Amino acid sequence: MPEHGASPYPHLYNRLIAITRPEPFATVLASHLHSLGAKTLVAPLTQLSLLAPDPEDVRVLHGWLIGAQKYLNQAQNPYWIILTSPNAVRFTQQWFESAKLDWSLLKACQVAVQGPGTKRLAQQAGLNVVVEANPHSSEGMAQTLLRYIRQSGSPHPPYFQWFRSALAPAKLIELIDQGLNKQTGISHRAVYDTVPAPASPATDGLIEVLGNHQLDTLLFMSPSAVHALTKLWPSSAPDLAQTLSHAKLVVASVGP
């Protein structure tokens, strides 16, 4: 940890920040904050869980992938895979393995991704990434993807498969439908979910420092983490809303 005067962010020096996101991302963020002079408490409130493939869904998807093979290496390929996060890449691979689907069938499809981390993992998995959303949002994905398709001049209507989190909003589906005047459909399937993590020594420690007003900053990375804390909060403890509104505590969140 740098000395107070040496830290480029002196307001972080010696502050105790609780990180509630799942591993391995929590440890990476904690290491970065620690390098800036903060103290950290890693207490994942949620965990990611692979969803079981539905046999009928697997059959339909396999037929779709077989149809894509005739467009392998063609510039005007109408078959698209959409991946909007690194987790989507990881869990789609696990989902394919669980479904006993051949991952190499995806190599016949063009791939649109959101974010450089997603792009890197998708390419490492052997996928043909041709579109990276800019900006990194549902609107950015729809605009970038539809612009690319129009400029390609393909005579074929596009076919989409979006592998997503169960909590992913449906906005991307609506935007693509609107952009194409619903001339085609966007198929989507949830391959993983975010669920509350079980109680652990780490979450017990978080509850203790919150209850004792020893925490400086509580960082929520998702609505799921907030929901999980309400489930874990003991009924014998002081009211959670009052605890979070304590004058010393800064509650920070990612997203509205």
Q: Please, are residues 95 and 49 in contact by the beta-carbon 8 Å criterion?
A: no
CATH top class, domain 13-45+197-253:
alpha beta
Strand partners, 110: 80, 128
- CATH 3.40.50.10090 range(s) for the chain read 13-45+197-253, 50-193
| Entry field: residues in the chain | 256
CATH T-level fold of 50-193: Rossmann fold (3.40.50)
Q: Which residue has the tokens 């399937």?
A: 189
User: In degrees rounded to 5, what are phi and psi of residue 8?
Assistant: -70, -15
Distance of alpha carbon 159 from the chain centroid: 23
pLDDT at position 2: 57
Residue 251: strand pairing partners = 218
Confidence at residue 182, expressed as pLDDT on a 0 to 100 scale: 62
Residue-level pLDDT at 184: 66
pLDDT at position 76, please? 82
Which helix or strand (DSSP H or E) is residue 80 part of?
Answer: strand 79-83
pLDDT in tens, 28-47: 999 999 999 999 999 999 99
pLDDT attached to residue 201 = 94
Q: What is the pLDDT of residue 6?
A: 59
Q: Which residue has the tokens 């990612």?
A: 254
Q: Is the pTM of this model over 0.85?
A: no
Task: Return the structure tokens found at 202.
Answer: 């780490």
pLDDT of residue 18: 96
Q: For the chain, which residues score pLDDT lower than 50?
A: none
Chain centroid to Cα 246, Å, comes to 30
H-helix segments, the chain: 25-35, 55-68, 86-99, 116-124, 138-152, 171-179, 201-211, 223-232, 240-244
